[in-house]
Amino acid sequence: MNNISRHSNSKKTPTVEYPRFYLYIRIVQAKLFIDNNYAEEIDLDNISDEAYFSKFHFIRLFKSIYGKTPHQYLISVRVEKAQQLLRNDKTVSEACFLVGFKSITTFSGLFKKVAGESPSSYAARHKEAKEQARKAPLTFVPGCYAYQHGWLENSNFEEGNI
């Protein structure tokens, strides 16, 4: 890595010819489609059809780029979005349906598989942390940073003891 001006002046480093350029574009579009429509009923067969791939070829290429099959990736996006919702005080059932799952049992099982804990446990842990952050925010900040910013001197925003 180097600075911008040196790179932008570089003339002896031609852009790489994209390997399988159109395939890349289609796989990336499929990934972005999942990112933007995860809460809808996504038919992954339709995605591969729209990408003009056989289903097998599509899944293989997707996995080679993203390390997950499209289905696994969709589950991971839904769980991640559910985590955001749970951190923002949604209930487990609200989070489940808002991210596109149809069954709380399925949601809870997949959530635990991906996140390593149940949705209710995740929500409770984050609720507690949020409360701690409200009461004693400086406990989340390394002392060196708090000192440098002057937050230790002006900590009247903090209710708890440090």
Partner 1 sequence: MITKMTITNIHVINQDSAYDFYVNKLGFKLVDDIPMGPDARWLTVSPPEQPDLQLVLFPVKVSKIFPKETAETLISLIKQGVFGCGVLTCNDVFATYEELKAKGVEFIKPPTKEFYGTEALFKDDSGNFFSLQPINNFGK
DSSP state of 140: G
DSSP string, 31-73: HHHHHHHTTS---HHHHHHHTT--HHHHHHHHHHHHSS-HHHH
Nearest-5° angle of CA 10, CA 14, CA 16?
A: 135
Measured from the CB atom, the residue of 2 and 161 that comes closer to partner 1 is 2
* d(C-alpha 113, C-alpha 102), whole Å: 17
Q: Judged by CB under 8 A, does residue 116 bind partner 1?
A: no
Angle, helices 70-87 vs 119-135, to 10°: value is 40
Binding residues for partner 1, rule CB under 8 A, total: 36
Question: Does 148 engage in binding with partner 1 (CB under 8 A)?
Answer: yes
* Residue 3 contacts partner 1 per CB under 8 A: yes
Cα atoms found within 13 Å of the Cα of residue 154, Cβ hemisphere only: 4
- Of 9-28, binders to partner 1 (CB under 8 A) are 13-16, 18-19, 24-25, 27-28
Among 42, 97, 115, 151, binds partner 1 (CB under 8 A): 151
Cβ-based nearer residue to partner 1, 29 or 93: 29
* Interface residue with partner 1, options 88, 120, 121, 145 (CB under 8 A): 145
157 forms part of the interface with partner 1 (CB under 8 A): yes
Q: Which long-range contacts (CB under 8 A, 24 or more apart) does 66-69 make?
A: 66/31
Question: Does residue 162 bind partner 1 (CB under 8 A)?
Answer: no
Q: According to CB under 8 A, which residues from 44 to 83 bind partner 1?
A: 64-67
Residues that bind partner 1 (CB under 8 A): 1-4, 7-8, 13-16, 18-19, 24-25, 27-29, 31-32, 64-67, 133, 137-138, 140-142, 145, 148-151, 154, 157
